[in-house]
Structure 1
Amino acid sequence: MKENLQAARAQVTQDIGGFDDRRLIKLELDARLDPAALQRIAPELEVISQEDKTIVLAFFTEAALAAFEAKLTTLAEGGSPTYRNVLYALKGFDRWTEDDRMGWALRQEGWPADSPFALDVELWPVPRATERDQSWQAFEVWLRERHIEKLDSVKQAGLVLYRVKVDRTQAEALLRHRDARTVDLPPRHGLEITFLQTDVQNLPPVPPPSANAPGVVVLDSGLATGHPLLAPAVGDAQSFLPGLGPEDQHGHGTHVAGIALYGDVERELRSGRFVPVLRLFSGRVLDVQNANDTGFIENHVDAAVREFRLQYGCRVFNLSYGDLRKPYSGGHVRGLAVTLDTLARELGVLFVVPTGNFAGAGAEPRDWRHEYPDYLLRREAALLDPASALNVLTVGSLARWDATFNSQLYRDDPAEQPIARRDQPSPFTRSGPSVGGAIKPELVAHGGNWAVNVRTANHWTVRQGLGELSACKDFAVGRLLAEESGTSFAAPHIAHLAARILVEHPQADHNLLRALLVGHARWPDACEALLADRDHRLRLCGYGQVEEAALTRSDEQEVTVIAGDAIPDRRHHFYEIPVPGDFYEGRRRTREISVALAHTPAVRTTRVAYRSCRIEFRVVAAPNLLHVAQMFNAATADYAYQRIPELLGARLGPRARGQGTVQADGWTVRQPSAQRREQRLFVVVTRVDQPWGADLTLTEEPYALAVVLRDRENAEAKLYTQIQARLRARIQPRVRA
């Protein structure tokens, strides 16, 4: 450890600038140590920041460095220095490097091509007022000496932030400045304010969808049925609240409905025309306060779902609702979640619900920006009922925009700083898992963002250009569109995609819809970069964001093969993945195989296991089907089944994915070995019932399976043609027989 300190002491000489001659040292500690205890070793040391549970930044005088070195020397020689517990808690010393200072956007996007360019520089928040003044005064002198233009600044007790204009050389110098905490690109992704001023007269008439178009049902605060972008697609709007009509007095339902009908409303607006391919239905289950105090919402939802399912054949229902009084704290699933799980099985419908919003009530972060995203993983940010339901799709939210309207109007002012950057989890989304560790949310979609106005301390700005664009209930007074942020507006993106699948595949059941959606999902790059811990990524992002390119139709570079069947208890079904020989040929490149399975078991809320049966899959490599069947059929005991090796390289593995009723996993192949080229791949589906579920389960429980093969980096790929030929070759002998 002494040598480690000496190395760090030499490395920090690379730092430049600073309002005094102290050294900035990064210390790695045991998470249980209070950073203040470091001053017992050297009172001259000043802790300036705890960047996470184990990383602390401190200013060291020469005397402080000497004190640490002396005690570490005594310890290394077998002595017993005072405060040994502090020394034992030290894991290492290091320099706060250029990479440490580089902000997320700069790390992801790299240096701008145009020069000069703007950067946001945050200085260390030194605690004493006199030092704080010295810090920013010295920094401004340094900027002038380097001929760096200061555009604007924010100077507060807990935050000193500069927006500067630099060239590449000046920017690299900033990354070495001792007093720079972070250096990042300003927010740049913003919703155009002119979109909110759209005049319907400038748009062509909206045609109605076809008479047999699939329906998407929005269970919410009602619907503005006369809205010019929605009216041609409205099939029916009813109220299921006693004494209230179907109209939307709040606006939430109309906003959700616009996204459920069109998906990305901004994309439609940019195209210059709105052409609905779905029919839109509305069931009012929330009042003017966007709440339900007139009775049990479970009864209102039950009545609405049965009405639209039986009268119109609707199978996709969006319920953007979360009960703040019912966070999921582990254990039994209760409330509306049980109702949805039961209805999904009984009526064969798909529910899409959000995780619910975290607003910090009772557990507000002291610093939204610097505690993000950790606060989203705390117990206080757990799922809200009905998000814990297993037979539904639960959707978390991603940020689409990071530049508020003010940031776009006043480009030199750094005051409004986004909490999340583009495609990162929204700062209000909630985290799983659900019962038994089931992955929740399963999917994420754009739902909005918040930005902190750093001039007004720890407050966020809402409705400042960071929300999702959609229909506004106040269209009659000229507000055709509005923007709102919340997980409520992430969920209808998925409901829209589910209904779009029915346009191409009208016979798809609710299980296949879920399997296709999660099978085509992947983690956004921004989420992978932000959440290095896979378990944290699963809790916030689930299986990821749906890629729409080949969701409804396969092409030569991406093919989806589907299957549906029903399986008895303690049985296996075997499927060979039709991998073409060319899939493994050619240069080193990324090839992907994804497998997804969904089923809808009966549930019982009085049981810890909750679901009456478990259907899961394994992907295995074997020389032939007989070998696979013998291997699985011989594994009659659970421990023997669990020991069967799955294909190496799974993104998640059976344990992580197997607790939910929709499961997915993926394998990436870049340079296949000779052994891999010779292997045949099989998906094995297995059902195991709970002993108490005998009176609830069917003799044969239905499920859906989707397998996706991708070869996107191969322009010459002919996956669709080759797989189609292989499948036809298998079918023809059966037809002749």
Structure 2
Amino acid sequence: MIPLPGFDEGGQPHVVVERVQLDGSRRKVRRGFGGGRNFGDRKKHANDLSDDVDFVLSDVATRTPTLGIDPRLILVVETMTSGQSVAEEANWQRSGLRIVDTSTTKRVVAFSDDPAMSLFLARLEDYSSGPKKGQASATHEAFFDNIDNVRPYGSQDRVGVELQTVLRQVGRDDDLTVDVEVWYPGDVTTAESWLTLISDAIGGAGGVVHDAFSSEASGLALMRVSASASIVRQLLDVDLVAKVEVLPEALTINASPSEVSADTVSDLPLPNNSSPLVGIIDSGVVSNHPLLRGCIVEAVSTSAWIEDGADRHGHGTAVASILARGSLDGQISSNDWDAPPFRVVSVRVLDENAQIPPYRLAERELTDAAIYLAQQGVRVINLSLGDLNGMIVGNRAPSIAALLDALSRSLNVVFVVPTGNVAPREYAGQFDESLAVDYPLRMLESPNARLLDPAPAATALTVSSLVSPLGPLPLGTVSLGRAGWPSPVSRIGPGIGDAIKPELCAPAGTMGQEQESYALVEPDALQVAVADGRVNSTGVITHDFGSSLAAPHVSRVAALVASKYPENSANLIRALTLQSAEPVSSDFLSASTEYVEGAPSAEGRRFVGYGQASSLRSAESAIRDTVLIAESNIPVDGVHLYAVPVPEAFFTRKRASRGMTVTLSFDPLVRARRMDYLSTRLKFEVVRGLPADEVIELFLSEADDAAAGTRVKIPNRRGLKVSGIPTQKRIAMEPAQTVRSLGANQLARKTWQNSLPRFNDFPNDFFVVVQSLNRWAPPTSMQPYALTVRLWVDEKLPPIYEEVRTKVSSARIRARGRAQTR
């Protein structure tokens, strides 16, 4: 592994930096609506909407109870714009509508507790009357001008894609097992009453409810049901039901026996009894496997439906072998084995078919497993699973992703998850001679290669797979991709709301293609070695590929950070794991025969995120590679400021590389079926050459939230604007703030080849500004976060660690002295 410029002998602890103690609280402002009118003829538009409402009311009035459940007034409001801000949601409530879903672009789903929709129609009448005397706009103009039409929410909205196919193939009495999502109305008490009502109805009709689950933290209400196809069809007409879908397919393992014998891998070095713990939730492990013997602290099941923690499929054992011992290929060929730095605690949630037990919800099983691991002291949990029916669509958070975000916050743990796998036949079209280099562009063009649940989870570290170093290939076979390229089976981002996903990547193999027939093949030389845990297998080592095997490499880096910082938060573990990322070139896009000159290089992040995680760079600083760390809690719409000293080497007049990398991680509240999935967004910028109080005022004076489409401007005493900061003083980092701030795990880099200018009349420190942009968090809430800043120089320049550490320590002492004299 080649370290970034500036990496040399390590062993130095990271430097703790404290924020500048200035008031960064946002002054309260009123957020309004902007933009011109969509409908010139208000009266005609109001009449059209009134007709739509009459149809919805008539539809509800004429329908009879389904499964004994009375019809409810639920409607779909198609809107002209895609964002639903907090202010707009309050407007819906004042119109008598309770929003339950804004996750689909330009669509709002809402309940009306008023069977006549009186409030809505009265406000519509006010709008229809036009502006009152002295007013430029009609009453409620911004609200109704944004509504295109209103319609009922029907069975076509509730049926899942796979269920739709199944229902065409089965008879009315055939039994089906399905997952049912019930609308989450905003409070868990009502949600549980609705689950009970539907459960009783299904039982009364002859069906069986195996499991029900509700989560206030993630805004979910779910049930798993077995019933006849006739009952399932009736469920599609129950207004309290949001979605019905068949169960996901099982995981597969593309493994082949190996010639490696058990004797070859016997007497391997073991972890210490005090080695830190790392968790895995999977199909269990074979604890006495030669590669895992002595590495497994515990292998259990937390499910009443799974008898024990032993692996009867093989997937969990394969993943655990990388988690415990890292990349196996080099150690096997050299017979030189490293001692595992961690001990593994395994919780089995998958049966022998690599499926969640058929009568349990995945959300229930994963919650129980995560809580158990957290109780054992585990801080990092590898979850190499994916819902094959749960590909991200639009901005809606899949259910398991929303659950992991809630669990990460409540348990203070880090989840590491893969992007999920995709077969090239699902996106590549025709297999031809150019597939080996064109597959990345074909993935970008296909809607079928998006992330699988739970990969979009905002707080999880999502990992894609890279093509591993290539060995000798069979004659007439070529590799799909080159070493270091994204794997052709690893799904791509972005995440929810265009957040950067995946964040990280790691080698985990690829496929081959026969040059004559263009058929795809899976030679061992293109895969990675893993422990063979399949039942009745005669091998000890096998070969496999896919993003499931990339995730444990990142889990190892995160676990190393957790072991160095046992008292710190999961936010800091994630921020430092991100900080270790080595950039990955996006030349795989330009190498395509279909590449268009000028195609955005940013598309490369959809495959590899911020880069490849490195254990060498995560937990310790070095004399030319210094990391500053901080944790804090920021108020709603607040601003925090950190002074980062600029080392003298940055001013040295010599052509040599020097740079800065900043990472930010936080764990906001979430709600699954909302366009504003995250309660709060945090962003950071770096400036220099300005006084600290001026920087605070600048960022308080202007908050730009592109995702919600609103701008708030507050006058300040000096008439300054953030956009007006000169380029020498506002550090342009990559990716841009507008791109990186869409996610909860953020990273940006800046490299200089020449010296920085000195400012004689202004501070030369870097100021890292952290800003909170509230969406729907309670106004008195505080958002925890972690910030890390890496300063590095190459070997041509003098060391920086001691200088930075001393300056930070001196600043801390001076600040505390000032505080004591007040």
Percent of aligned positions that are identical: 29
More helix by share: 1
Letter in 1 for 2:732: G
Report what 2:369 is aligned to.
304
* 2:327 matched residue in structure 1: 264
- State whether residues 670 and 678 of structure 2, in contact with CA within 8 Å, keep that contact through their aligned partners in structure 1: yes
Q: CA deviation digits over 1:81-125, x for unaligned, max 9?
A: xxxxxxxxxxxxxxxxxxxxxxxxxxxxxxxxxxxxxxxxxxxxx
* 1:669 to 2:669 alignment: no
8 Å Cα contact 1:612-1:693 kept in structure 2: yes
Structure 1 counterpart of 2:669, one-letter code: A
Q: Name the CA distance, whole Å, in 2 between partners of 1:210 and 1:391.
A: 31
Tell me what 2:42 maps to.
Answer: none
Shift of 1:526: 6.0
Q: How far apart are 1:504 and its partner, in Å? A: 2.2
Contact 1:404 1:451 in 2 (8 A): no
Q: Is the 8 A contact 2:257 2:539 kept in 1?
A: no
Aligned to 1:445: 506
Separation in structure 2 between the aligned mates of residue 401 and residue 249 of structure 1, nearest angstrom: 30
Counterpart CA distance in 2 for 1:336 and 1:296 is 10
Q: 2:291 aligns with which of 218, 222, 229?
A: 229
Report the CA distance between 1:676 and its aligned residue: 7.5
Supply the AA of the counterpart residue of 1:336. I
Compared CA separation, residues 466 and 670, structure 1 to 2 (3 A): same
Letter in 1 for 2:486: P
Distance 2:450 2:753 in 1: 37
Which of 508, 519, 522 is the equivalent residue of 2:582?
A: 522
Q: What does the per-residue CA deviation read over 1:164-185, in whole Å, with 9 as the maximum and x for residues that have no partner?
A: xxxxxxxxxxxxxxxxxxxxxx
User: What residue is the counterpart of 1:680 in the other structure?
Assistant: 765
Matches within 5 A, 1:28-427: 196-202=258-264, 205-241=267-303, 242-269=305-332, 270=334, 272-294=336-358, 295-310=360-375, 312-367=376-431, 368-377=435-444, 378-403=446-471, 405-406=473-474, 413=475, 415-427=476-488
Q: Does the alignment pair 1:468 with 2:532?
A: no
1:490 corresponds in structure 2 to 550
SS in 2 for 1:330: coil
In structure 2, relative to structure 1, the CA distance for the partners of 1:726 and 1:305 (3 Å cut) is same
Aligned with 2:642 (options 565, 575, 581)? 575
Aligned pair in 2 of structure 1 residues 386, 481: CA closer, same or farther (>3 Å)? same
Q: Which amino acid is 2:768 matched to?
A: V
Q: Describe the superposition over 1:285-308 as per-residue Cα deviations: whole angstroms up to 9, x where unpaired.
A: 122222225221111111101111
Residue number in structure 1 paired with 2:723: 643
Corresponding residue pairs, total:
532
Paired AA for residue 545 in structure 2: S
2:736 is aligned to 653
SS at 1:513 equivalent: helix
Deviation digits for residues 428-454 of structure 1, max 9, x if unmatched?
111111111101111111111111012
Taking CA–CA contacts closer than 8 Å with sequence separation of 6 or more, which of the two structures ends up with the larger relative contact order?
2
Determine if the alignment matches structure 1 residue 588 to structure 2 residue 655. Answer: yes
Alignment match, 2:811: 730
Distance 1:207 1:735, change over 3 A: farther
Letter of the 1:554 counterpart: S
Asked if the contact 1:394/1:440 (under 8 Å) is kept, the reply is yes
CA change 1:511–1:673 in 2 (3 A) is closer
CA distance in 1, matches of 2:257, 2:391: 36
Q: Is the 8 A contact 1:214 1:279 kept in 2?
A: yes
Could you say what secondary structure the match of 1:722 adopts? helix
Q: Kindly state the Cα deviation for residue 550 of structure 1 after the two structures are TM-superposed.
A: 2.4
**Pair 1:693-2:774 in alignment:** no
Question: CA contact under 8 A between 2:280 and 2:381: conserved in structure 1?
Answer: yes
Gaps (5+ residues) in structure 1?
1-192, 407-412
* TM-score (structure 1 length as normaliser): 0.68
SS at match of 2:275: coil
Q: Which amino acid aligns with 2:275?
A: A
Asked if 1:719 is matched to 2:787, the reply is no
Q: Which amino acid aligns with 1:643?
A: S
- Residue in structure 2 matched with residue 708 of structure 1 by the alignment: 790
1:235 alignment partner, SS class = strand
Distance 1:337 1:483 in 2: 29
Q: Which amino acid aligns with 2:791?
A: L
C-alpha distance in 1 between matches for 2:453 and 2:463: 13
Give the aligned CA root-mean-square deviation in angstroms: 2.7
Deviation at 1:243, TM superposition (A): 3.9
User: In 2 relative to 1, CA 324–404 (structure 1 residues): closer, same or farther, beyond 3 Å?
Assistant: farther
**2:653–2:754 CA contact under 8 A, matched in 1:** no
Whether contact under 8 Å (2:681, 2:744) holds in the other structure is: yes
The residue aligned with 1:10 is: none
For 1:306 and 1:281, locate their aligned partners in 2 and report how far apart those are by CA, in whole Å: 13
Give SS of 1:455's match. coil
Paired position in structure 2 for 1:164:
none
Give the letter aligned to residue 222 of structure 1. G
Instruction: State the Cα distance separating 1:263 from its structure 2 match.
Output: 2.3
1:478 Cα deviation from its structure 2 partner: 5.8
Deviation at 1:617, TM superposition (A): 0.9
Distance 1:686 1:506 in 2: 27
* Cα distance in 2, alignment partners of residues 535 and 421 from structure 1: 20
Q: What TM-score do the two structures reach when normalised by structure 2?
A: 0.61
CA 1:484 to 1:557, structure 2 compared with 1: closer, same or farther past 3 Å? same
- In 2: Cα distance, 1:710 partner to 1:194 partner: 44
Name the aligned partner's letter for residue 460 of structure 2.
V
Shift of 1:626: 2.7
Larger CA deviation: 546-555 vs 661-670? 546-555
Secondary structure at the aligned position of 2:430 is classed as coil
Q: Aligned partners of 2:755, 2:643: CA distance in 1, in Å?
A: 19
Amino acid across the alignment from 2:320: A
Code of the residue aligned with 1:429 in structure 2: it is S
CA–CA distance in structure 1, aligned partners of residues 489 and 612 of structure 2: 17
- How many Å separate the matches in 1 of 2:770 and 2:815? 23
Structure 1 range deviating more: 209-218 or 570-579: 209-218
SS of 1:522's equivalent in the other structure is coil
**Alpha-carbon separation, structure 1, partners of 2:684 and 2:703:** 16
Q: 1:314 to 1:254 in 2, by over 3 A?
A: same
Counterpart-to-counterpart distance in 2, 1:264 and 1:636? 45
Tell me the SS of whatever aligns to 1:603: coil
**1: CA distance between counterparts of 2:428 and 2:600?**
23
Deviation of the 1:271 alpha carbon: 6.6
Q: Kindly provide the CA deviation profile for residues 553-596 of structure 1, in whole angstroms up to 9, marking residues without a partner as x.
A: 11112111100001111211100122211233142111110000
Alpha-carbon offset, residue 549 of structure 1: 2.7
Output the CA distance in 1 between the equivalents of 2:258 and 2:651: 50
Say which SS state the counterpart of residue 636 (structure 2) adopts. coil
* Contact 1:501–1:551 under 8 Å retained in 2: yes
